[in-house]
Amino acid sequence: MAGTMRALSISEITEGRDARLVEVPIPDPRPGWALVRVRGFGLNHSELELRRSEIRADYIKKPIIPGIEGVGEISYPGETGLAAGTRVCMLMGGIGRSWDGSYAEWCLVPASRLFTIPDAACGLPWSTLAAIPETYYTAWGSLFEGLRLEASDTLLVRGASCGLGYAAVQIAHALGSRVIATTHRCEYAQRLRDFGADKVVLDDGALSRAGIRAHKALELIGPRTLQDTLGCLWRGGICCDTGILGGVFTLDRFDPIRGIPNGCYLTGFFSNYPTQEAMDALFSFIASHKLEPYVAASFPFDRLPDALALQDSGGFQGKIVVTLG
């Protein structure tokens, strides 16, 4: 499909206020890759990191169109076996880092990174679908693959007042689990309750000393608080380390013998390996439980720079989404 499209294309550190949409060629089809007409995408913390620093790394293709996830329709199937017009989502792998991503009108995506959106969820508007793939898949995988969450569990979500946290609270509540959510700002407590938290705790860094206990713990602050979170588990409990909101990426001087309580388990979750089976289950769960993602703000594509500027400024809750007509 010859012609040009609008996209954000960057080669150097780019603040949202400096971002500009440009005309670039529509990607050339190749076997095993489908051309997707992008209808929406959510903004992610990792894309902020890309714009602000990671763009300098050797492993990032340059210039690059950012965007690690998106939703849309197949324009040109490219031998992927998907029919033109099929509603799909795409996420992770090298999207928006090793090859051009979703901040564009069209995106060329390998078959392994494309997932059909089941009929049950196809009636949802693009602005809702756009908030789902990366954030809800990460919550879903952390809760069910990582934590093996069950309705009878009490779940601790540490660092719940982020996009991923709200999704996890919402899913666990819909399942029937009791949810304890922590936040760093008391003004977010009511919103967490609205999304299904049974109890909200203002995190002072010492939850185990305060007697907070759970069967399962989703750690979104990361290594900064992980040791304390492990101390909140009942015997047989599981902690899944998924986030790094605390800004500390690795465990220093961690002694697993004393650090992981007897009979408890520590695991992690990385959203890089979605499957069609998991995406089907996730979208069906969202549709059947009528879950509404927490959309902080929705922007039309030509206002992408404003969306990025909002992301840069912080102080918002939930997911920023961008939609294309």
Ligand X SMILES: NC(=O)c1ccc[n+]([C@@H]2O[C@H](COP(=O)([O-])OP(=O)(O)OC[C@H]3O[C@@H](n4cnc5c(N)ncnc54)[C@H](OP(=O)(O)O)[C@@H]3O)[C@@H](O)[C@H]2O)c1
Rounded to the nearest 10 degrees, the angle between the axes of helix 276-288 and helix 133-140 is: 100
Contact flags string 49-68 toward ligand X, x per CB under 6 A: --------------------
**Other CB atoms within 10 A of residue 81 CB:** 11
**Closer residue to ligand X in complex, CB, 56/185:** 185
Burial of 197 (C-beta count, 10 Å sphere; 0-12/13-18/19+): buried
Asked if 282 is part of the footprint of ligand X (rule: CB under 6 A), the reply reads: no
**Closer residue to ligand X in complex, CB, 27/246:** 246
The one segment of 100-108, 178-186, 254-262, 298-306 that binds ligand X by CB under 6 A: 178-186
Contacts of 45 (CB under 8 A, 6+ apart): none
The one segment of 145-153, 160-168, 254-262, 300-308 that binds ligand X by CB under 6 A: 160-168
Asked if 183 is part of the footprint of ligand X (rule: CB under 6 A), the reply reads: yes
**Closer residue to ligand X in complex, CB, 59/249:** 249
Contact flags string 104-143 toward ligand X, x per CB under 6 A: ------------------------------xx--x-----
- Contacts with ligand X in 208-267 (CB under 6 A)? 220-221, 242-245
Which pair of structure tokens corresponds to residue 298? 């929705």
**CA distances, 192 to each of 122, 140, 163, 188, 319 (Å):** 27, 18, 11, 6, 14
**Sheet of 199-202, strand order:** 199-202, 178-183, 154-158, 214-219, 233-241, 265-268
The one segment of 146-154, 211-219, 258-266, 313-321 that binds ligand X by CB under 6 A: 313-321
Length of the chain: 325
The one segment of 73-81, 111-119, 147-155, 311-319 that binds ligand X by CB under 6 A: 311-319
Which of 161, 170, 298, 323 is the binder for ligand X (CB under 6 A)? 161
Give Cα 51 to chain centroid, integer Å: 17
- State phi, psi for 302 to the nearest 5 degrees: -70, -10
* Residue type at position 196: G
Which of 30, 185, 209, 289 is the binder for ligand X (CB under 6 A)? 185
User: Where do contacts with ligand X occur on this chain (CB under 6 A)?
Assistant: 44-45, 134-135, 138, 159, 161-164, 183-185, 220-221, 242-245, 269-271, 314-315, 317
